[in-house]
Amino acid sequence: MTSLDQLLEFLKLIHRFQAIERKIAVPGQERNENDAEHSFALALCTWYLIDSRGLKLDSMKAVKYALVHDLLELYTGDVAYFESAEKVLQKKEKEREALTQITEVLPDWPALADLIKAYEDKTDPESRFVYVLDKLLPAANNYLDEGRTWKKYGLRFETMVANKTKFLDLSPELKADFKSLLGLIEKDQDRLFTTD
């Protein structure tokens, strides 16, 4: 396989990644975001927050984590926290297989699998920062989008809070932001969530 062939195969993988539709709507649009858009937004927000706040984190490492954090969904698809416990468990099992598949598809890039594994294991402050920001951004987007996704799936405020507060202590750099966002959402919960 020539180097151009390798690039073309890699582009096909990226196109597949772009085709993975997430459960969350794009604010102000009549469609859901895809994994590539989500990863790009997460990477830019990661870089912005680390640099603008002067955080003692390796921004390049964190941006790399953000770019690859959902690549396993090439083989598992997107499963949201509010789906059945069985689906969430199945996704975790499939992710182990997916890491092997990515290694087989990209044997000349072992650093990618290493980075994904480090992210999944939350081995350093950068991976934990990106992991927590990955939980914060969908809540922020839902807030900005008048709770459209939460309403669509009949989510209750309490369910969202129970899920999101599990992550508060993983990244001290984002704890205050997360608490502030949850406070804003709580004030507007009647407008943002279904009430029946």
pLDDT tier at 1, thresholds 50, 70, 90: low
Indicate the domain borders of the chain: 3-143
Higher-scoring residue by pLDDT: 93, 31: 31
- CATH number for 3-143 (one of 1.10.3210.10, 1.10.3720.10, 3.30.70.990, 3.40.50.720): it is 1.10.3210.10
Q: Is the pLDDT of residue 69 over 90?
A: yes
Q: Is the pLDDT of residue 77 over 70?
A: yes
Dihedral sign for Cα 54, 126, 163, 91, please.
positive
Instruction: Give the CA count within 13 Å in the CB-facing half-sphere of 110.
Output: 0
Q: Is the pLDDT of residue 26 over 80?
A: yes
Instruction: Give every CB contact of residue 169 below 8 A, 6+ residues apart in sequence.
Output: 175
pLDDT at 48: 99
Q: Mean pLDDT, the chain, as a whole number? A: 92
In angstroms, the CA 157 to CA 185 distance is 8
pLDDT at 20: 94
pLDDT at 167: 87
pLDDT tier at 129, thresholds 50, 70, 90: very high
Longest alpha-carbon distance in the chain: 59
Q: What is the pTM of this model?
A: 0.93
Across 75-89, average pLDDT: 76
